[in-house]
Amino acid sequence: MSEFMVVAEVAQLPVGATLAVAYLDQEVGLFNVRGTIYAIGNVCTHAYAQLHEGYVDDDDCTVDCPLHGARFSLQTGNYYTLPAVRKVACYIVQIDGTQILIAPAS
């Protein structure tokens, strides 16, 4: 399994906030939904758009791409609606004191 890496401080991501970070050479979106932090690939698989800028649905734990509205699960990275046709990467999140760490989910 890949090693966890610090990508942000907890204070940078209050409840309801989103943030784009880097994990090695990948762009990752962090999403704080009701106090739980999720991390998925930040680039829509349909067309280049940053998912952290999209609409987050707290009830469904999803994000809608701001460009064409494709919907992705924040828990699994799976896509639910077109025009996306494949999922985004999903990351495991750990909190260590004041730091947010992530590693790719297997």
pTM value > 0.75: yes
Q: How many CB atoms lie within 10 A of CB 81?
A: 13
Please give the CATH topology (third level) of the domain spanning 5-104: Rieske Iron-sulfur Protein (2.102.10)
Domain ranges within the chain, ordered by starting residue = 5-104
- Band (pLDDT 50/70/90 cuts) for residue 1 is very low
**What is residue 2's predicted lDDT score, i.e. its pLDDT?**
60
Write out pLDDT tens, residues 24-60.
Answer: 999 999 999 999 999 999 999 988 899 999 999 999 9
